[in-house]
Amino acid sequence: MQYMKQFLALTFSALTIISCGGDSKKEENKDKPDKPAEEVATATNGSASKLEGAWEIKRAEGMMPEANVGTVYEFSGNKLSFGKGDYKNPGTTIVTDSTFSFQADGNELVFMYDYHFNGDTLVVEMQKSGGQIFHMIKK
């Protein structure tokens, strides 16, 4: 139960931190037409295969790292869910060669992540999080 409280607190904190300043991208791109999500997802399917499957956080850096260890991110096509134990946060994703997004089902907020590989380890940094970095191993 303690882990669930920490996880929920971390998720709420991350949502709060990331939501600050999120409007700047809309202003920067207001003259550019938005591509349909289908078109973007199709354009990135080759990259998405690199992340396909379940990835577990084995080490974390930044805010409340111990609360993140053990969280599983599961990529399946343009779907992404993450959570611990019985708790899953389902949503959608768009994957590129170095980034992926997460938009929870029923929510307008979109979270962006940068990623790269260090051997078999997927290293993920949540954008605008102040240094939140996850080291994940494929399950």
pTM: 0.68
Q: What would the pLDDT profile of 56-95 be if each residue is shown by its tens digit?
A: 999 999 989 999 999 999 999 999 999 999 999 999 999 9
Q: What would the pLDDT profile of 86-98 be if each residue is shown by its tens digit?
A: 999 999 999 999 9
Judged against a pLDDT cut of 70, whether residue 38 lies above it is answered with no
- Say how many domains are in the chain: 1
CATH of the domain at 101: 2.40.128.280
Domain extent, residue 91, equals: 2-30+37-138
What is the DSSP track for 82-126? EESTT--EEEE--B-SSEEEEEETT----EEEEEEEETTEEEEEE
